[in-house]
Amino acid sequence: MVYLDYAASTPVSEEALHVFEQLSKNFYGNASSLHDAGGKANDILTYSRQSLAAMIEGEPDGIYFTSGGTESNLLAIQSIINGLPAHQQHVITTSVEHPSVHYAVSSLERLGVKVTIIEPNQDGIITKDILKKALLPETGLVSIQHANSETGIIQPLAELAPLLKERNILFHTDAVQTFGKIRVSIKELGVDAVSISSHKVYAPKGAGAVYMGAHVPWKPLYTGAVQENGLRPGTINVPCIGAFAAASEQAMLRLDEQQKLDKQLRDYFLQQLKIRQLPVHTLQDNDNRRTLPHIIGCFFEGFEGQYVMLACNRHGICLSTGSACASGYHHPSPAVKALRVSDRDALQFIRLSFGYQSSKDDIDQLLHTFEHLQKEKKGA
């Protein structure tokens, strides 16, 4: 099988699997328990907080473990708004966010919180002017993704942050797709809260984290919860969190090497499209936007993305038509529509994404399948 859907989920690395197994066998106590077994489990959590916090240049006390990226986004946005005063009950987010962000703000809107959804420009970018026009005196929180999981487009968070800081507006970012792939520093980005997830960095599914700085006045949604300083209830998944930290450490060690490989594969794919004269256009053709090196968004002229995905699957190749969390819905992706393309073109969108085990052979097999589809269409 050729796997080109690493942006959706990654295989568990040997290092993470080993840590998960050892922690499951030897550190099985409840981290909330006061006996020695609980203390040992809590030591794993303490180490994992310190490790993950260092990776994003934050403080360990700011790391709160969750069940994944979706819960991290939900808890971050809703808990922050819950902690803000009545005169700051306005949240701004974008039309291209992960569905979990829209779940969060929709719930807040039903509770009376004012919500503004802003659109990026035709290059998929939220500019200072776009954000500034949406700001109100009562704005308390802005949530803008670090990069889009479907298109790979990176948002200029560091350019937007000063605009919010001078108005004392808190800034949250969904960094699930960028953490472990490019540098994510709360200091450099200028954000107050960050969401990350385990299964994007070769750790088991089921763990995530949200970072909130000590200055963020969040309040818990669940009264009486004791885990994670009251942010969420439920027994903490120590083995999965330990594996998350271990996999993240490995991702950081090989960050530069992986970026180099991703860029080589991307360049090879783009070159081969031209050499083979395939009618495939990519988002990388636009110099006005920065994109993640491991994600390529494509439009295969004359074919719906879902058809291409299923045809590739028959040839043993896994890729995506967009966000896995939105799969099953046959309609244009908001992230792709935001690029000002027609519904017809948006439905032709496919995404391939690279990872540790990706190779030029994988790309060649994909291109061979594309050529096969093109010949079939021409009746050759």
The residues carrying an active-site annotation are 325
Q: Residue 280 corresponds to which tokens in the numbers above?
A: 């495939």
Secondary structure element (H or E) that encloses residue 24, with its range: helix 14-26
Phi, psi of 112 (to 5 degrees): 105, 0
| Distance of alpha carbon 60 from alpha carbon 211, whole angstroms | 9
Q: How far is CA 302 from CA 32, 72, 102, 296, 366, in A?
A: 57, 39, 32, 19, 17
| Distance of alpha carbon 1 from alpha carbon 192, whole angstroms | 41
| Distance of alpha carbon 2 from alpha carbon 314, whole angstroms | 11
Residue with tokens 């636009």: 286
The number of residues in the chain equals 380
Taking alpha carbons only, the member of 202, 203, 200 closest to residue 20 is 203
The answer to whether 97 and 143 have CB atoms below 8 angstroms apart is yes
76 half-sphere exposure, CB direction, 13 A CA radius: 38
Pairing status of strand 193-197 against strand 208-212: antiparallel
Residue with tokens 């907080």: 49
The answer to whether 133 and 171 have CB atoms below 8 angstroms apart is no
Residue with tokens 């994404």: 353
Q: Is 291 helix (H, G, I), strand (E, B) or coil?
A: strand
**DSSP E strand boundaries for the chain:** 2-3, 63-66, 90-94, 114-118, 139-143, 170-174, 193-197, 208-212, 280-282, 295-300, 317-318, 349-353
Taking alpha carbons only, the member of 136, 134, 206 closest to residue 144 is 134
